[in-house]
Amino acid sequence: MGLKVSVIGAGGLGTAIAQLTSVNTDSVYLHARRKKVVDDIIKTGYNTEYYPNLKLADNIIPVDDFSHIKECDIVFFCVPSFGIRNALKELSNYICDDCIIVSTAKGIEYPSLNTMSQIVVEYFKRSPVVFSGPNFAFEIALSLFTIANIASDDVKSLEPVKKVLTTDKFKAKVNNDVIGTEYCGVLKNINAIAYGICEGMNLNDNARYAVLTKGFNETKDIIESLGGKRETVSDYCGFGDLVLTATSRESRNHTLGMLYGQKIVVDEKASGIIFEGKNSIKAIKELCDKNSVNSTIVNFVYDVILNLTPPKIAFNNLWDKIE
């Protein structure tokens, strides 16, 4: 009998992961918080809010309750980092002891400074598998060529997760650095904001890529100070995700940086737009200060986004420190 999988969260990434893993599993339960989403998928076979032109696999079962989870071998948490704790609370009575938990969220809980895997351990007393890479959800959903890193302190969990993810188009590369893999997923957002600020200011290409290079190198210093491995920053979850998120117009954090580079201050509450990178800035700045790491890129982004320093002044301060 094949593996059974649950995906918590029927948004862009959750639906993409469900479509991906459906190839290698008997059944995939796709959990949506809203019954309307479940009813639409049952009726049409499409998640019209995210992928109106993508017919979902027949073995994807949309649900709005958790009763099915006890029979699943692997549970993917595909909810934003700010929602992970509430999701874990809701599921704490349903996930069995031998079920593998996969965390896809990229972020740090603020102000606790806990990573997503640390929050999972808090509730389930075991290490999850961390999923991270240069991945746009819609490309995974469309079965385009993609690769991601998976990491866990529980080594035996990695092979089953790799098995359900791997297709002729999708590769899952195992590494042994949970700390580095998770923090790469956070720091790429800060680098994306920095690059976006420079683009919003209409800075020349040479300057923008100098800033990106500086951020890449400082990411190694930060991750090493937190107990991760420098070489992880050169892997797909590091360099690949950093470049993808920093330079693509599809990236929300790149967009956030561009807006601030144009002196447009974003009112997130009024607009309904949530940029997880903003909390990441505060968290990473605290961690850098705590570990005596002086990151010019983190300071630059913190000054522009949180101190509301004019971008030109903040960039000149940054440029003076680049060697």
Helix (H) or strand (E) holding 304: helix 296-305
What per-residue confidence (pLDDT) applies to 189? Answer: 93
Angle at alpha carbon of residue 119, lines to 84 and 127, rounded to 5°: 115
What per-residue confidence (pLDDT) applies to 269? Answer: 66
Which residues are part of the catalytic machinery? Answer: 188
CA nearest to 193, candidates 273, 312, 315, 305: 305
**Maximum Cα–Cα distance across the chain:** 62
Angle at alpha carbon of residue 306, lines to 300 and 308, rounded to 5°: 80
Q: In this prediction, what percent of the chain has a pLDDT beyond 90?
A: 88
Q: Which domains does the chain have, with CATH numbers?
A: 4-176 (3.40.50.720), 179-321 (1.10.1040.10)
Q: How confident is the model at residue 3 (pLDDT cuts 50, 70, 90)?
A: confident
- Is residue 88 classed as helix, strand or coil in its secondary structure? helix
Least confident of 55-69, 113-127, 261-275, 295-309: 261-275
What per-residue confidence (pLDDT) applies to 144? Answer: 98
* 229 and 180 Cβ atoms separated by less than 8 Å: yes
What per-residue confidence (pLDDT) applies to 273? Answer: 53
Rounded to a whole number of angstroms, the distance between the first and last alpha carbons of the chain is: 58
